[in-house]
Amino acid sequence: MKKSIIFLMLIGLFVSCDNENENKSATELIGTWKLIEISAAPGNSSQSFKPVQSNKTLEFKSNGTIVTNTSLCDPYSDEVKSSGSFSMATSSITTNCQNPNIATISFELKNGDLILNFISNEGYSQKFQKSN
């Protein structure tokens, strides 16, 4: 009986730590991000980011939505969708764009930057820096 109680307490501890990490990441993500670099590696697996001049911003809101001043469907479509939703549990953005390569975009927070990883045979990513 004691072993069962201890086991259940340990499981509760691990679950609460996961929720704390997810909440911390969500707090870090909320705000406005500006596109600073892109990475495209046609034909090889070595991706390196290159600086870009861009006014593109993404704003992650605490209610789970995301808005942009351009389109979430770019770079693969001229379709304009300026809002969508995001999930910390799956680290993904749902764009509702018609192109299946950008209907869902994965993201990661890495060294204080936000990186969007697009589905692509050649590898394509965008790096954003938090502006507020």
The answer to whether residue 9 is domain-embedded is no
Q: Quick one: average pLDDT of 104-123?
A: 90
The answer to whether residue 118 is domain-embedded is yes
The answer to whether residue 114 is domain-embedded is yes
pLDDT tens, position by position, 30-88: 999 999 999 987 655 566 899 999 999 999 999 999 999 999 998 778 889 999 999 99
Cite the DSSP H helix spans in the chain.
Answer: 2-29, 100-103
Question: The domain that contains 95 carries what CATH number?
Answer: 2.40.128.490
pLDDT tens, position by position, 74-96: 877 888 999 999 999 999 999 98
- Residue 58: enclosing H or E segment and its boundaries? strand 57-60
The answer to whether residue 96 is domain-embedded is yes
* Residues contacting residue 25 through CB under 8 Å, at least 6 positions apart: 88, 109
Total domains present in the chain: 1
pLDDT tens, position by position, 11-29: 444 444 444 444 556 789 9
The answer to whether residue 64 is domain-embedded is yes
The answer to whether residue 76 is domain-embedded is yes
Q: Domain range holding 54?
A: 29-130
Closest C-alpha to 83, from 58, 101, 62, 104: 58
The torsion angle over the Cα atoms of residues 66, 92, 79 and 119, rounded to 10 degrees, is: 150
The answer to whether residue 15 is domain-embedded is no
Give this prediction's pTM: 0.77
The answer to whether residue 93 is domain-embedded is yes
